[in-house]
């Protein structure tokens, strides 16, 4: 029994943190759909997912931490691996997703200790994200065996986590009574935004260079390509938040920043929706050729949720129904693929344990 527990910890895959991102994204999208289309029956679902995500991330973090402590050399090998390097950033991304769930949904429904929980999880997630982001990029740079064949969507996880840290961090600023501290957190979030955007641009160019001029992604890592949608959605979500939060301390710049965000956001959302269509077509092509199930299938969930959230959020800002309808169509598509992925995950678990 002890050997089985040890092997479970040693073989723990950080991709499991993608489940937290997926459920957290569904919760946020559900609240927005309920608000815009008056589907109030979705609110209890969102609240349940917030608490479920809290329990899930604590469990996964304990397992991840035990693996780091007990098998530190294996952990460092992962960070130095040209394919696996970025996936450990799913851990801080999942933690800040819980922070975002409590700051947005907790505030809307007055969940227990939502302010303290959102602040605490953001601090923890931001701390780990900075460390893992820096190490992942450093090891990719110094790896002398690096070549274009190693490129995959998993490289996008660190910048995605940085952008998600920005959004979660901006949402906790109003909860902080100490004004100088709140202002410092604002500038820290600008730092994460710039860091994530810069590395995203570099990696996105490399990924498309591989796809266009080298070879197709291996079916095992193809689902990770769906992550390419996420930065566009997160940047779209970050811009109005940056404008509003900056306006708390520099009110003269609020209208200018908000104007820029309203101008750029629909372009970014449009890119995300177009990429979703392209990726659905590519996924169909991969299914025809054979796309084996793996935990990486959870990469279908949060990227889709991010596009839906970005569309629905913009609809609430500019009061344009077009974006609301785009968001709700993607939302129901999201629910459909989530049920499929959950079913395949349970089926795969049952097969392995029989």
Per the listing, tokens 């952008």 go with 163
CB half-sphere exposure, 307, CA atoms < 13 A = 27
Give the Cα separation of 164 and 129 in Å (integer): 10
Q: What is the pLDDT of residue 3?
A: 47
Please give the tally of structural domains in the chain.
1
Instruction: For residue 127, give every residue at least 6 positions away whose Cβ sits within 8 Å of its Cβ, in sequence order, or none.
Output: 92
Q: What is the pLDDT of residue 354?
A: 62
Give the Cα separation of 151 and 174 in Å (integer): 39
Q: What is the pLDDT of residue 150?
A: 80
Query: What does pLDDT average to in each consecutive run of 10 residues of the chain (354 residues)?
Result: 62 92 97 94 94 96 94 90 87 97 92 93 97 91 77 91 97 94 96 96 88 80 93 97 94 91 95 96 90 90 97 94 96 96 89 70
Q: What is the pLDDT of residue 84?
A: 82
Tokens representing 214?
A: 């080298």
Q: The dihedral of CA 33, 34, 37, 39: what is its sign? A: positive
The CATH number given to whatever domain includes residue 136 is: 1.50.10.150
Q: What is the pLDDT of residue 110?
A: 86
Per the listing, tokens 């997630």 go with 125
Angle, CA 106 vertex, CA 159 and CA 21 arms, to 5°:
30
- How does pLDDT run across 224-260, given as a tens digit for each residue? 999 999 999 999 999 999 999 999 999 998 899 999 9
- How does pLDDT run across 66-99, given as a tens digit for each residue? 999 999 999 999 888 888 888 999 999 999 999 9
Residues 323/267, Cβ–Cβ less than 8 Å: no
Q: Based on the number of CB atoms within 10 Å of its own CB, is 238 exposed (0-12), middle (13-18) or buried (19 or more)? A: buried
Give the Cα separation of 179 and 201 in Å (integer): 33
Domain range enclosing 122: 2-352
Backbone angles phi, psi at 343, to 5 degrees: -60, -45
| DSSP codes of every residue in 304-331 | HHHHHHHHHHHHHHHT-HHHHHHHHHHH
Q: What is the pLDDT of residue 59?
A: 96
Strands (E) in 197-351, as ranges, are none
Residues 276/227, Cβ–Cβ less than 8 Å: no
Give the Cα separation of 15 and 69 in Å (integer): 18
């Amino acid at each position: 029994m002890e050997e089985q527990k040890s092997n479970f910890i040693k073989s723990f895959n950080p991709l499991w943190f993608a489940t937290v991102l997926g459920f957290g994204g569904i919760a946020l999208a559900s609240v927005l759909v309920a608000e815009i289309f008056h589907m109030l029956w979705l609110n209890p679902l969102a609240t349940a997912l917030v608490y479920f995500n809290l329990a899930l991330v604590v469990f996964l973090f304990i397992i991840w931490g035990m693996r780091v402590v007990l098998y530190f050399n294996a952990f460092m090998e992962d960070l130095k691996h040209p394919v696996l390097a970025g996936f450990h950033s799913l851990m801080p991304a999942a933690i800040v997703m819980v922070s975002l769930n409590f700051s947005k949904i907790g505030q809307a429904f007055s969940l227990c200790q939502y302010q303290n929980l959102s602040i605490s999880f953001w601090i923890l997630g931001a701390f780990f994200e900075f460390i893992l982001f820096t190490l992942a990029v450093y090891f990719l740079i110094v790896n002398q065996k690096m070549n274009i064949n190693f490129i995959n969507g998993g490289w996008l996880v660190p910048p995605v986590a940085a952008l998600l840290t920005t959004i979660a961090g901006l949402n906790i600023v109003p909860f902080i009574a100490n004004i100088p501290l709140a202002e410092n957190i604002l500038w820290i979030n600008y730092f994460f935004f710039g860091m994530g955007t810069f590395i995203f641009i570099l990696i996105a160019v490399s990924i498309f260079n591989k796809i266009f001029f080298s070879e197709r992604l291996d079916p095992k890592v193809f689902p990770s390509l769906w992550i390419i949608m996420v930065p566009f959605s997160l940047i779209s979500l970050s811009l109005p938040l940056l404008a509003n939060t900056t306006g708390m301390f520099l009110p003269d710049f609020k209208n200018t920043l908000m104007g820029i965000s309203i101008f750029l956001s629909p372009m970014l959302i449009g890119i995300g929706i177009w990429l979703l269509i392209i990726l659905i077509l590519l996924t169909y092509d991969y299914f025809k050729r054979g796309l084996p199930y793996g935990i990486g299938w959870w990469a279908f969930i949060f990227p889709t949720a991010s596009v839906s959230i970005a569309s629905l959020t913009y609809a609430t800002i500019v009061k344009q129904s077009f974006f609301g309808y785009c968001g709700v169509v993607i939302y129901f598509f999201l629910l459909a693929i989530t049920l499929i992925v959950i079913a395949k995950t349970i089926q795969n678990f049952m097969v392995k344990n029989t």
